[in-house]
């Protein structure tokens, strides 16, 4: 007969198991280091960095169960610039911090932004050189479809919360493609500017945002009319954006000013700015809606912003060229 554990020891074992099973991790794609940082947000420190074997991934997404990260390998170029054409995607096991699989697209596509469909659980990856979104079954890592964007340089992707629509920021053309993800076809193309960057959508799916790269302003797209509704003046050229989970605020990275602008979504005006380390890029919200994380490329840092006090709580060390961010909660 096996001896019974004391109740206190048993409780400790159970709590430790639950804690490990529900571990929160912040993932940071480091362009300069060619690595993926795995950060413990509770201690605001990097646990480890997973090497990408001399290749460069700019973005990352975590599986809904929080156990797997997908890193498209873009290459060593900027959008529309000469350089290598990435043709693969790494699959990283987050608990073991190891690359466990590599998908080969078979030709250079410059894969960049990966997003999970909120309803179908499929993985959508922008494939710039094919002017498309490639759709994967994440469990088998098999391609199950493509969605044509009808535009080159479809760099970033936002998906509506009902899973029906996709929106791509097409950098060089300065447009946004509106996609029917179920029918896997393009609906329309919205002109924005000569150059546009990054894209996000509000929690209620009513507005999409993308930053003009020729003027300090942000385009507000009305998703009902698929047209630019208005422009939000910014304190500098904008970049990555993300809405707070309550839909009241929009955070906008302003890289050259080393700031994050906070936009009141009821008035569509900048209410205040927050100083952060050099070259803020991408913004991701913590699932409880209390903190936003901002990657700061040149400084290799991630700023954690309290969404109540609008103060920087922590500056987290990541890697050189910190760029794409993703949140992972293991279930």
Per-residue pLDDT of the chain (331 residues; tens, 9 = 90+): 444 444 444 444 334 333 434 599 999 999 999 999 999 999 999 999 999 987 889 999 999 999 999 999 999 999 999 999 999 999 999 999 999 999 999 999 999 999 999 999 999 999 999 999 999 999 999 999 999 999 999 999 999 999 999 999 999 999 999 999 999 999 999 999 999 999 999 999 999 999 999 999 999 999 999 999 999 999 999 999 999 999 999 999 999 999 999 999 999 999 999 999 999 999 999 999 999 999 999 999 999 999 999 999 999 999 999 999 999 999 8
Helix (H, G, I), strand (E, B) or coil at 263: strand
In this predicted structure, what is the pLDDT of residue 262? 98
Residue 9, in any domain of the structure: no
Q: Report yes or no on 177 lying in a domain.
A: yes
Q: pLDDT at position 54, please? A: 73
Is residue 17 domain-resident? no
In a domain, 215, yes or no: yes
Q: Minimal CA–CA distance to 135: which of 149, 164, 115?
A: 115
99 forms beta bridges with: 92
Question: Residue 22 has what pLDDT?
Answer: 57
So what's the pLDDT on residue 4?
A: 47
Q: For tokens 């700061």, name the residue.
A: 296
The pLDDT assigned to 55 comes to: 83
- Tell me the three state secondary structure of residue 205: coil
Per the domain annotation, does 271 fall within a domain? yes
Within-domain flag for 74: yes
Q: Does any domain span residue 58? A: yes
CB atoms within 10 A of CB 135: 19
CATH number where 32 lies: 2.130.10.10
Domain membership of residue 29 as a residue range: 24-329
pTM (global) more than 0.85: yes
Count: domains in the chain: 1
6 domain-assigned: no
Question: Distance (Å, rounded) from C-alpha 154 to C-alpha 172?
Answer: 9
Where does residue 149 rank: exposed (0-12), middle (13-18), buried (19+ CB within 10 A)?
A: buried
324 burial level (CB within 10 Å; 0-12, 13-18, 19+):
buried
Pure H helices in 191-243: none
> Of 103, 124, 118, 140, whose CA–CA distance to 203 is shortest?
118
């Amino acid at each position: 007969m096996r001896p019974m554990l004391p109740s206190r020891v048993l409780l400790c074992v159970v709590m430790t198991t639950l804690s490990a099973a529900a571990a929160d991790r912040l993932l940071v794609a480091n362009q300069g280091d060619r690595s993926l940082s795995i950060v413990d947000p509770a201690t605001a420190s990097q646990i480890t960095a997973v090497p990408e074997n001399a290749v460069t991934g700019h973005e990352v997404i975590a599986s809904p169960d929080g156990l797997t990260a997908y890193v498209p390998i873009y290459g060593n170029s900027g959008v529309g610039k000469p350089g290598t054409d990435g043709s693969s995607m790494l699959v990283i096991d987050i608990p073991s911090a190891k690359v466990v699989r590599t998908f080969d697209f078979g030709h250079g596509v410059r894969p960049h932004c990966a997003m999970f469909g909120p309803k179908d659980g499929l993985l959508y990856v922008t494939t710039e050189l094919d002017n498309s979104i490639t759709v994967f079954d994440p469990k088998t890592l098999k391609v199950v479809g493509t969605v044509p964007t009808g535009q080159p340089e479809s760099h970033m992707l936002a998906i509506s919360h009902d899973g029906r629509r996709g929106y791509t920021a097409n950098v060089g053309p300065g447009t946004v493609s509106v996609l029917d993800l179920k029918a896997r076809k393009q609906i329309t193309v919205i002109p924005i500017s000569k150059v546009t960057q990054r894209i996000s959508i509000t929690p209620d799916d009513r507005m999409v945002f993308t930053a003009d790269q020729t003027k300090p302003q942000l385009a507000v797209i009305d998703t009902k009319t698929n047209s630019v509704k208005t422009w939000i003046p910014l304190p500098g050229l904008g970049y990555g954006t993300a809405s707070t989970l309550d839909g009241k605020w929009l955070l906008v990275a302003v890289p050259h000013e080393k700031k994050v602008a906070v936009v009141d979504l009821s008035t569509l005006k900048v209410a205040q700015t927050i100083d952060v380390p050099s070259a803020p890029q991408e913004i991701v919200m913590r699932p409880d809606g209390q903190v936003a994380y901002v990657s700061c490329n040149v400084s290799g840092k991630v700023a954690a912003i309290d969404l109540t006090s609008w103060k920087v709580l922590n500056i987290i060390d990541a890697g050189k060229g910190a760029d794409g961010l993703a949140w992972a909660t293991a279930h």
